[in-house]
Amino acid sequence: MLGLNSRDFKLFIVVCLMALAAPILLNPFPTASALGESFNAGYPALMQRFVIFGILVIGFNILFGLTGYLSFGHAAFLGVGSYAAVWMFKLLSYNVVPAIILSVIVAGLFAVVIGYVSLRRSGIYFSILTLAFAQMSYQLAYSVFTPLTNGETGLQVYNDDPQILMGANSPTSPHFFGLEMNSQYTLDISGWSFVFQNGYYLSAIFLILGFYLSIRIFRSPTGLMLRAIKSNQTRMSYTGINTKPYMLAAFVISGMYAGLAGGLLAAMDPLTGAERMFWTASGEIVVMAILGGVGTLIGPVLGAGIIKYLENIVSKINDSILHQWFAFMPDWLEGVLVTIIHPFIGKGWHLTLGLLFMAVVIFLPGGLVQGGQKIGGLFRRKKTDDAADGAKTPAE
Amino acid sequence: MDAFILQILNGLDKGSAYALIALGLTLIFGTLGVVNFAHGALFMIGAFCAVTLQKIFGISFQTIDDTQTDFLGNPLKVDTPYIEAWFGPEMGMAIQDWSVPLAILLVIPVMFFLGWVMERGLIKHFYSRPHADQILVTFGLAIVVGELIKAFYGANPIQTPAPDMFLGTVDVGAWLGMDSGAVAYPKWRMVYFAFSLVTIGAVFAFLQFTTFGMVVRAGMADRETVGLLGIDIDKRFTFMFGLAAAVAGMAGVMYTPILSPHYNIGMDFLVLSFVVVVVGGMGSLPGAVLAGFMLGILQSFASMNEVKAVIPGIDQIIIYLVAIIILLTRPRGLMGRKGVMEE
């Protein structure tokens, strides 16, 4: 259906349902309870980040997963997309449609230039070239391009901006033809409160579209060509195929995904700064892709979701919460445990992230998806007759 | 003319640091074929060895001096560092003053050991894996090291001054027969430059004039054949990894008076050093050194006001720009060998 085979279609439907029902699915615990305060993720600001970074990493995966070219400068496209979107808000109006369109186009153009140069080299050289370009963009955004980027203050919309399409009654925050992004509907059901926000749903729709497109690309002849480049580029050249246009196409598409993510970030919160382009941001994208599973369809979405979720929870936990958790233990053991865990929580989130990342690269190079498949494989070997098990493991 | 000389001198100390880190990176890459994204972290660990030593020398005990009173009229509490109690006040003060150069003695064994552990414990398992995996795992390690440093030492830069003897400036202008005071250059940066020349010279001499170095060079050229000759090349390469770590650590220690170390310093230097290695040519030791100094000097020229007036912002991006141009025109870098990293 929709040009997908049945397996992919199932996966696609699952992603659609997850994305659309996220406000309910991510609120498993009653809102006011202690568990709910620590572990619920069903509030708009966080869910937006899940889907937006999901889009970003899906795009990154089209490049790295299919062709094996590791870009260490992907955050540059995200930053450029955000700047483009905020400029649309400043010049036209708060309508998100022109903003998102422009952010995709600008990021795409940017990717054509960077890709054309970087793709002349491969392997580590490619990584370093993209890193160099991203760092250059970051430095320029802080220095020469201050009129465009507003330097360290960050770009935002001011009252005296032209906003020529702004009518008298137009909303004063990003909106989709009048539907304000930050307006939300709260549904209270006996202790649970589910928040449905316009902005989240706009991003979720883009995630679904982006995911669909990525399945189509993975299954297309072009996708096959890109995989062939990954396995043996020299041989591709010997068979008389010019691989460069395919590579550039993959690079630009993945840059446009990043631009879309940047535009959406700006649409959720109309301000941006150069730190979005810093190379640690690029590193985070790589981490997400690796953690989920590079070269798989669902991996990037999983990786982005897990990283953002863990970031949120781990940074929220502090010593007093730990003491609550371990209250049932003897005092000395509790003290020891809290001391051991202390460096990893709160501000220590990046330490946890680094360790997690290393563990995944060392033990599970295929990411969590591969881990899921391994576990699934164990089950299947144990009870071969239980065919239903296979459906639980992700398709790829 | 004096401005010209001043910029060259200014470029030299930064260039020295780039050259030292790039030298280590190239050593590791040339011997083990590993792209070590954690090399900046080694530089940083070195810098924090200096901080640690300074703190250790500062550990003190309290005594109550009855002859003096503080502003509240209570007997004055006096902190005496143990080091002063043991070696006498003058010697103790001197040791504290010289904590940065003394840290070199500490950093060599520490870094050598860390490098050895890192190679045997982690990197060893990545030889057969793709370069992307090597980059990723060392990148992860760099994050972890940076965050550990942050957890222990806090996020703020920590001041580690050079010995008093090296404070102040040298009047380079007077040596060259110009007006005195025209070209003044901080003494410690001079020391750093000299130190880096000595270190680089020592590494090259080690590789060039010892049997061990000869075997290592042979292994870099053709690992398999050296192995077939019955030489345990892996053990020597592990030693070279330790050596590269020690060089990075020393570069870090000596750099602390120039730039107060903080937990991100490794990453800042790493990105630039990689660019340096690429410009110099992957796997070429002289190339790394040459490119390190060249880029350091170029960067300092680009930050002259006259240049910035013509091309605004050039000081921020010159290194990356040069790297892009070099990679596109001379893909192997300035002195790269054929067949290195070209798959």
Kindly report, residue by residue over A80-129, the tens digit of the pLDDT.
Answer: 999 999 999 888 888 889 999 999 999 999 999 999 988 888 877 888 88
Write down the pLDDT at residue A54.
93
Average pLDDT over residues A348-361: 85
Q: Which residues of A touch B320 (CB under 8 A)?
A: 132-133, 135-136, 139
| pLDDT confidence tier of residue A382, bands split at 50, 70 and 90 | low
- How far out from the chain centre does Cα A263 lie? 13
Q: Which residues of A touch B144 (CB under 8 A)?
A: 351, 354-355, 358
pLDDT at A63 over 90: yes
Average pLDDT over residues A186-214: 87
Mutate to test the interface with A, among B37, B122, B316, B342 (most CBs of A within 10 A): B316
A243 found inside a domain:
yes
Torsion of CA B325, B328, B331, B336, to 10 degrees: -10
- How far out from the chain centre does Cα B261 lie? 12
Q: What angle do CA A371, A372, A376 make, to 5 degrees?
A: 120
pLDDT at A185 over 70: yes
Write down the pLDDT at residue A105.
95
Total count of domains within chain A: 1
Q: Please, are residues A261 and A75 in contact by the beta-carbon 8 Å criterion? A: no
Interchain proximity B271–A280, CB inside 8 Å = no
A359 found inside a domain:
no
Total count of domains within chain B: 1
Task: Point out the least confidently predicted range of A336-350, B20-34, B250-264.
Answer: A336-350
Looking at the complex, does the CB of residue A75 fall below 8 Å from at least one CB of chain B?
Answer: no
Write down the pLDDT at residue A258.
95
- CATH value at residue B132: 1.10.3470
Please name which of A247, A136, A114 lies closest in space to residue B313, comparing C-alpha atoms.
A136
Please name which of B245, B227, B225 lies closest in space to residue B235, comparing C-alpha atoms.
B227
B91 found inside a domain:
no
Cα–Cα distance measured from residue A26 to residue A239, given in angstroms and rounded to the nearest whole number: 50
pLDDT at B182 over 60: yes
**Residue numbers of the domain that contains A37:** 6-296
Looking at the complex, does the CB of residue A116 fall below 8 Å from at least one CB of chain B?
Answer: no
Interchain proximity A143–B316, CB inside 8 Å = yes
Query: Which segment, A44-58, A113-127, A149-163, A315-329, is predicted with the most confidence on average?
Result: A44-58
State the alpha helices, DSSP H only, in chain A.
6-25, 34-39, 44-67, 75-91, 96-118, 123-142, 146-149, 198-219, 221-231, 233-238, 244-268, 279-292, 299-316, 319-325, 331-341, 349-363, 367-382, 389-392
> How far apart, in Å, do the first and last CA atoms of chain B sit?
46
Average pLDDT over residues B269-290: 85
Query: Which segment, A21-25, A39-43, A219-223, A383-387, is predicted with the most confidence on average?
Result: A219-223
The mean pLDDT of chain A is 85
Q: What angle do CA B252, B254, B260 make, to 5 degrees?
A: 70
Cα–Cα distance measured from residue A5 to residue A27, given in angstroms and rounded to the nearest whole number: 32
pLDDT at B197 over 80: yes
Token pair 């706009």 is found at A202
A365 found inside a domain:
no
Interchain proximity A124–B131, CB inside 8 Å = yes
| CA atoms within 13 A of residue B168's CA, in its CB half-sphere | 6
Query: Which segment, A308-312, B132-136, B196-200, is predicted with the most confidence on average?
Result: B196-200
Residue in chain A closest to B308 (alpha carbons) equals A144
Task: Point out the least confidently predicted range of A328-337, B144-153, B219-228.
Answer: A328-337
Q: How many interface pairs between A and B have CB atoms less than 8 angstroms apart?
A: 111
Type of residue numbered B42: L
Tokens of B315: 């000081």
B131 found inside a domain:
yes
What does the pLDDT look like over B77-88, one tens digit per residue? 777 788 888 887
- CATH value at residue A235: 1.10.3470
B76 found inside a domain:
no
Q: Please, are residues A304 and A53 in contact by the beta-carbon 8 Å criterion? A: yes
pLDDT at B343 over 50: no
B334 found inside a domain:
no
Torsion of CA A110, A114, A115, A119, to 10 degrees: 180
Cα–Cα distance measured from residue A290 to residue A61, given in angstroms and rounded to the nearest whole number: 9
Cα–Cα distance measured from residue A253 to residue A63, given in angstroms and rounded to the nearest whole number: 8
A349 found inside a domain:
no
> Higher-confidence residue: A394 or B26?
B26
Average pLDDT over residues B277-281: 85
**Residue numbers of the domain that contains B119:** 2-62+105-329
CA distances from B69 to B64, B78, B89 (A): 10, 10, 22
Type of residue numbered A246: Y
Cα–Cα distance measured from residue A289 to residue A296, given in angstroms and rounded to the nearest whole number: 9
B195 found inside a domain:
yes
The mean pLDDT of chain B is 84
| pLDDT confidence tier of residue A205, bands split at 50, 70 and 90 | very high
CA distances from A274 to A129, A138, B37 (A): 19, 6, 24
DSSP string of B294-316, one letter each residue: HHHHHHHHHTSHHHHHHSTTHHH
pLDDT at A391 over 50: no
Q: Select from A123, A348, A361 the Cβ nearest to the Cβ of B343.
A: A123
Cα–Cα distance measured from residue A346 to residue A121, given in angstroms and rounded to the nearest whole number: 41
pLDDT at A341 over 50: yes
Q: Select from B140, B271, B331 the Cβ nearest to the Cβ of A354.
A: B140
Please name which of A140, A233, A136 lies closest in space to residue B325, comparing C-alpha atoms.
A136
A311 found inside a domain:
no
* Phi (first) and psi of residue A74, to 5 degrees: -70, -25
A383 found inside a domain:
no
> Higher-confidence residue: A333 or A264?
A264
Interchain proximity A131–B271, CB inside 8 Å = yes
Please name which of B266, B21, B257, B318 lies closest in space to residue B139, comparing C-alpha atoms.
B266
Neighbour count for residue B193 (Cβ, 10 Å): 18
ipTM confidence? 0.80
B233 found inside a domain:
yes
B71 found inside a domain:
no
Torsion of CA A216, A220, A226, A230, to 10 degrees: 90
pLDDT at B154 over 80: yes
B127 found inside a domain:
yes
Interchain proximity A283–B282, CB inside 8 Å = no
| pLDDT confidence tier of residue A269, bands split at 50, 70 and 90 | confident
> Higher-confidence residue: B183 or A358?
A358
Portion of chain B with pLDDT greater than 90, in percent = 20
Give the contacts of B82 (CB within 8 A, at least 6 positions apart).
B59, B60, B61
Task: Point out the least confidently predicted range of A198-207, A270-279, B162-171.
Answer: B162-171
Within 361-390 of A, beta carbons closer than 8 Å to B belong to 361-362, 365
Q: Which residues of A touch B267 (CB under 8 A)?
A: 279-280
- How far out from the chain centre does Cα B72 lie? 48
pLDDT at B267 over 80: no
A149 found inside a domain:
yes
- Long-range contacts of A188-193, Cβ-Cβ distance < 8 Å, separation of 24 or more: A191/A30, A191/A31, A191/A32, A191/A33, A192/A27, A192/A30, A192/A31, A193/A27, A193/A31
What does the pLDDT look like over A122-158, one tens digit per residue? 877 888 888 888 888 888 888 888 888 887 888 888 8
Mutate to test the interface with A, among B147, B149, B263, B314 (most CBs of A within 10 A): B147
Q: Which residues of B touch A152 (CB under 8 A)?
A: none
pLDDT at A384 over 70: no
DSSP H or E stretch at residue B248: helix B233-255
Please name which of A361, A276, A353, A392 lies closest in space to residue A70, comparing C-alpha atoms.
A361
